[in-house]
Amino acid sequence: MQTYNKGDVELLEKIYLKLRPWIKNHPNIGLYIESMEEVCPNCGNENLTWVEDKFYYTQTSKFPLFLCTCGAYGRSRKSIVSKEVKKSLIVGLAK
């Protein structure tokens, strides 16, 4: 039984690592890495490719996107919308 379980756990780990970039509520791996560089929140890799023509939008901000070698997309924490522009934006409310 122990031999079977060992193979089962090793296989499950490979599947988890393959699916991890698409798990939306996965913990940010960057919290556990002691690095001053920006790292992929899914795998901790520092080798990020910034995507020039795509952005992540919120109601009042716009963030650059990156693609990691693990296949995950992420966004910068720093908005590229200036504070002056943010002051002039009006946020709508639901009826």
Looking at residue 61, its pLDDT comes to 92
Contact status, residue 17 vs residue 29, Cβ threshold 8 Å: no
**What tokens appear for 38 in the block?**
């920006």
Structure confidence by residue, pLDDT tens digits, 54-94 = 999 988 899 999 999 988 888 888 899 998 888 888 877 77
Structure confidence by residue, pLDDT tens digits, 31-57 = 998 888 889 988 899 999 999 889 999
Burial grade of 71 (CB within 10 A; 0-12, 13-18, 19 or more): middle
